[in-house]
Amino acid sequence: MFSPDGMQNAQDKQPDQQIEDLLAAHLDALMAGQADFDPQFTRYDLTPAKIAEATDLLNLATRLRETLVPVAPSETYVNRLKRELIGDQPVTLLVRWRKLPAHYQLAAKLGGLTLTAGLLLLASRRALTILDALQHRNQPESDQGLSPAS
């Protein structure tokens, strides 16, 4: 039970601590591979309701231990996780870009903008040349001499 100040009452804290101690001892036995764990409920001075709760938790832990199969992570995953945790990331283009001084980043952006504008200009010239050639091809021969381009 919790009191108005949010703290557990002293009388309720004792049985919960007893159950935690019992579960910790059971976990130690499971981890050590002991199949014949004796909970010794009398030693923990638990009420019948708490004994029932502890028995359910002990049975659940035992069934989980028997059912679940340990799985080892792949070497790739372990290496990637280790790099992430210790901050040893491989240097990528984006990381190198972020470490450049501001004036280098500005120069690179302007250079990229200039290249993009030049490519767009070349592409638009090519498109206009193709459109002009298509227009001349679709004109009748009598009107070809009258075009403004000639």
Q: Using pLDDT thresholds of 50, 70 and 90, give the confidence band for residue 145.
A: low
Domain hosting residue 34, numbered range? 10-67
The predicted structure's pLDDT at residue 94 = 75
Query: Do residues 46 and 18 make contact, with C-beta atoms less than 8 angstroms apart?
Result: yes
Tens digit of each residue's pLDDT (9 = 90 or more) over 28-76: 888 888 777 777 777 777 788 888 888 888 888 888 888 888 889 999 9
User: Helix, strand or coil for residue 74?
Assistant: coil
Q: Using pLDDT thresholds of 50, 70 and 90, give the confidence band for residue 25.
A: confident
User: Helix, strand or coil for residue 55?
Assistant: helix
Same domain, 63 and 90: no
Would 145 be classed as within a structural domain? no
Same domain, 48 and 87: no
How many structural domains does the chain have? 2
Q: Using pLDDT thresholds of 50, 70 and 90, give the confidence band for residue 3.
A: very low
Mean pLDDT of 3-24: 63
Token pair of 37 as six digits: 């764990």
Same domain, 91 and 118: yes
Nearest to 96 by CA among 83, 78, 108: 108
The predicted structure's pLDDT at residue 66 = 82
- Last residue of a domain, which of 44, 67, 90? 67
pTM for this one? Answer: 0.39
The predicted structure's pLDDT at residue 138 = 72
- Last residue of a domain, which of 26, 43, 67? 67
Same domain, 126 and 97: yes
Q: Is the pLDDT of residue 89 over 80?
A: no
Same domain, 132 and 86: yes
Distance between CA atoms of residues 27 and 16, nearest Å: 16
Strands (E), the chain: none
Identify the residue with better confidence: 88 or 111.
111
Same domain, 87 and 45: no
DSSP code per residue over 88-124: -PPP-HHHHHHHS-HHHHHHHHHHHHHHHHHHHHHHH
